[in-house]
Chain A
């Protein structure tokens, strides 16, 4: 058995596993596991309106930020 095969398999699997771990860490840090019920329920209220609201909120935030600190 060639060593490069082992290197490739080990490297590949650790890399993929590492990606999954990073995704998990990101999710924990982001607070996605803080309130399990809400995130499950959020699926029920997902739609075009909600998307629009989220965008509007984002814009409002930007506007307020700019208004607060004129640069």
Chain B
């Protein structure tokens, strides 16, 4: 089987133009364009229902698109799905492991389906069990595994076929913070080996931590795209938030500080600024001069949350992280 390769720009692991998909009357993907360079981490970021999973299902050949030109791993998605399948691995939001089989049996099942020789398959299964820290539970049915362990097994199963491109659909949703950090490290290690990662997430911090480029997906449209740094520059700079004991203090502080925005209900004052030590000292000195007591102070540096809020206007769908 030597599939004829379609000509695409070298260096693109995923290239989509005008990708469109609807379920009946419900438009899920409204003509999105994506370009993921080989060997990078690309994050598709968006709230629940934005169309992230649908995008992954289309790009991984599970479902068909209604419209759009898509090439994955250098092959046209519609014409050469099997050539695409050879190059990819998919780890879904719900673990795609055989829960009745043990971890080891799941890995050997993958080895058999990749037609690896028996000894080679067993060796690689043992290596992956070791690498993903599943050795102790290797002989236990996967249904007894914790969420984090099932997710690791799921990813390990995908690696059996030496994929060049890995789709991770919300790889850390539902995991505890420690498992999440473990998964991040695994992803970084994969990237170091030259694998391309296509990640979806609803956690802004995750995209910020892992991705080279981020696309913000909202209601089936890409509303912003760029490096995490570029996206952060699209929103106003950060601010310092001051809280006071009463409205009187708040008023005096608001008069003393130019450009500040008081909130009479919460007794807080937002002062624009990046929260650097020098600026902070100047701010406190100024308050001292007008003899205002600050009850509480917090610094808010711009993060992807701000980008998200600024671009989608959906404050209820994201967790705002105050720092």
Do A and B interact with each other, yes or no?
no
Interface residues of A (CB under 8 A from B): none
